[in-house]
Amino acid sequence: MEKSMQTVEVKSMFINGEWTQSQGGGTLRVVNPATGEEVGTVSYGDGKDARAAIEAAHQAFPGWSRLTARERSKYLYQLYELVRSHRDELAGIISAEMGKPLREAKGEVLGAADNFMWYAEEAKRVYGETVPSSVPNKRIMVSRQPVGVVGAITPWNFPVNMVARKIAPALAAGCTVVLKPAESTPLSAIRLFELIAQAGFPAGVANLVIGQPEAVGQELLDNPKVRKIAFTGSTRVGKLLMEGAAKHVKRVSLELGGHAPFIVFEDADLDAAVAGLFESKFRNSGQMCICTNRLYVHESVAEAFSAKLVERLSKAKVGDGRSKETEIGPLVNQRALDKVLRHIQDAQDKGGQVVFGGKRLAEGEYGKGFYCEPTLITDVTKEMEIAFEETFGPVVPMMTFTDEAAVIEMANDTPYGLAAYVYTRDNSRCFRLAEALDYGIVGINDGSPAQTQAPFGGWKESGLGLEGGRYGMDAFLETKFVSFGM
């Protein structure tokens, strides 16, 4: 296990190229969810700090947006190199402040680096178009320009990569940024911004404000200098931001909650399906918006599948994320643990059978953290909270089915539409399911579909707009039509 760290970062806002503290002098303690130990104290601000950061971003915008794409690209490449070479350090910070196993945290950091590299490249490919005119004395030109100052709000579950996925395309497009990271994970954002400073980005291009969510959020919404809100988090807050953005018709990109179905057909490779489910359900302790929330297994293979799953769960190593053996870390805080335990209890009260796990882990060292046993519940019905509300924890609720059309209907019967998973060896069925599922991301025989270059975004109440690949650039660009009279 790596040594525990304790940092005091009172000057933790990065505004206009300077490290400063909150104007009101507030501070926030950051706690390791594996041990309850404090890992740092940071400045904690409010709307006033956000206003200063927005002003800096506004001042920096003309210079940054007028640089050639090639010049902006150089800074992003530099940042890519820095993030990659600081992989282990960043991973240690992520793990210490939100509990993620180190192996996963390292993967996250490499994912973030990959985003900086991808958008260093994509910056150079913001193409326009000429369109044939219907009259001889006019020419139509279509070009793309950066939307302006971006307010980015990110969650704690991927404290480095969620930031990268927003600021990399924003900066590549020529936007300037004010980032508000989640309260639980400011240290990862601070370290990333130190690397941004080291990469030499001009002052004001990227600003960091750690502060009270409602106050900072309100300033980002109310201040007309912000032209775009890019958010990842709960559907509840996403809706609030969308409502607030209406006042100035700000552009919004929203990556919100999900309730992913995972469907195992009778012809599936059950070992591959168990491995895919483990990946999609237990990575980050089940705290991902694309995590499986409902498992549907064909009745004829349900027993065999659950036996294999129980075998896998019984081998899963739960523990402090900083330990090398850990596969499943703690939940992020008491509130998250309480919700998971409430869902388990509710399922049991309504007839669900806990066939593995089901309890808080509280013995010995576990007692200091927010640990829940990896859990499998069978006999789940759609009346149970777990069958329609996002659990965000290491619990698999299992249902059975016999008919393809019926399972598609059940899978789509939710206001969410982020990710869905299907395991089958029937090629025709692969295509039928890929087309019939009302989800933005469908993993066919793939429990871990996200990649930098692919579009990532939800349908229905799971979001608006896309991150990833060339699609991710669109969120930060406006389209301009210029008509030349001759």
Shortest Cβ 268–ligand ADP spacing (Å): 32
Q: Which of 43, 154, 176, 375 binds ligand ADP (CB under 6 A)?
A: 154
Contact 461, 453 (CB under 8 A): no
Look at the block and give the residue holding tokens 């919100």.
Answer: 256
Which residue number, 138 or 239, has a Cβ lying nearer to ligand ADP? 239
Q: Which of residues 199-218 bind ligand ADP (CB under 6 A)?
A: 213-214, 217
Q: Which stretch binds ligand ADP (CB under 6 A): 114-122, 175-183, 268-276, 294-302?
A: 175-183
User: How far is the C-alpha of 374 from the C-alpha of 369, rounded, in Å?
Assistant: 15
Question: How far apart are the two ends of the chain, measured CA to CA in Å?
Answer: 71
Q: Which of residues 234-293 bind ligand ADP (CB under 6 A)?
A: 234, 237, 240
Residue 422 CA from chain centroid, whole number: 22
430 is catalytic: no
Q: Which stretch binds ligand ADP (CB under 6 A): 108-116, 150-158, 275-283, 293-301?
A: 150-158
Which residue number, 122 or 219, has a Cβ lying nearer to ligand ADP? 219
Q: Which stretch binds ligand ADP (CB under 6 A): 91-99, 101-109, 231-239, 398-406?
A: 231-239
Q: Which of 113, 153, 291, 309 binds ligand ADP (CB under 6 A)?
A: 153
Pairing status of strand 459-460 against strand 416-417: antiparallel
Which residue number, 41 or 154, has a Cβ lying nearer to ligand ADP? 154
Using Cβ positions, the residue closest to ligand ADP within the complex turns out to be 217
Number of residues that bind ligand ADP (CB under 6 A): 13
> Which stretch of DSSP H or E encloses residue 380?
none
Binding of ligand ADP by 326 (CB under 6 A): no
Pairing status of strand 375-378 against strand 463-464: unpaired
Which residue number, 154 or 414, has a Cβ lying nearer to ligand ADP? 154
Q: Which of 175, 289, 291, 372 is catalytic?
A: 289
* Cα radius of gyration (the chain): 23
Shortest Cβ 166–ligand ADP spacing (Å): 12
Which residue number, 284 or 424, has a Cβ lying nearer to ligand ADP? 284
Q: Which of 122, 255, 327, 390 is catalytic?
A: 255
User: How far is the C-alpha of 404 from the C-alpha of 395, rounded, in Å?
Assistant: 25
Shortest Cβ 183–ligand ADP spacing (Å): 5
Q: Which stretch binds ligand ADP (CB under 6 A): 177-185, 247-255, 422-430, 465-473?
A: 177-185
Shortest Cβ 157–ligand ADP spacing (Å): 7
User: How far is the C-alpha of 252 from the C-alpha of 249, rounded, in Å?
Assistant: 9
User: How far is the C-alpha of 281 from the C-alpha of 244, rounded, in Å?
Assistant: 33
Shortest Cβ 115–ligand ADP spacing (Å): 19
291 is catalytic: no
Binding of ligand ADP by 393 (CB under 6 A): no
Where are any strands of DSSP class E within 368-437? 371-372, 375-378, 395-401, 416-417, 419-423
User: How far is the C-alpha of 258 from the C-alpha of 256, rounded, in Å?
Assistant: 7
Look at the block and give the residue holding tokens 């933005």.
Answer: 440
Binding of ligand ADP by 233 (CB under 6 A): yes
Which residue number, 112 or 182, has a Cβ lying nearer to ligand ADP? 182
**Tokens encoding 324:** 């090398």
| 3-state class percentages of the chain: helix first, strand second, coil last, to nearest 5 | 40, 25, 35
User: How far is the C-alpha of 329 from the C-alpha of 332, rounded, in Å?
Assistant: 9
Q: Which stretch binds ligand ADP (CB under 6 A): 1-9, 176-184, 296-304, 430-438?
A: 176-184
Shortest Cβ 333–ligand ADP spacing (Å): 9
Which residue number, 168 or 182, has a Cβ lying nearer to ligand ADP? 182
Which residue number, 104 or 219, has a Cβ lying nearer to ligand ADP? 219
Show Cβ contacts of residue 372 under 8 Å, excluding neighbours closer than 6 positions. Answer: 285, 331, 337, 340, 341, 357, 359, 360, 361, 393, 394, 395
**Tokens encoding 118:** 């991808």
By the 10 Å C-beta count (0-12 exposed, 13-18 middle, 19+ buried), 485 is classed as: exposed
Count how many residues are written for the chain: 486
Where are any strands of DSSP class E within 94-160? 129-131, 138-146, 149-153
Residues of the shown chain interacting with ligand ADP in the complex, contacts defined by CB under 6 A: 153-155, 180, 182-183, 213-214, 217, 233-234, 237, 240
Residues annotated catalytic, as ranges: 255, 289
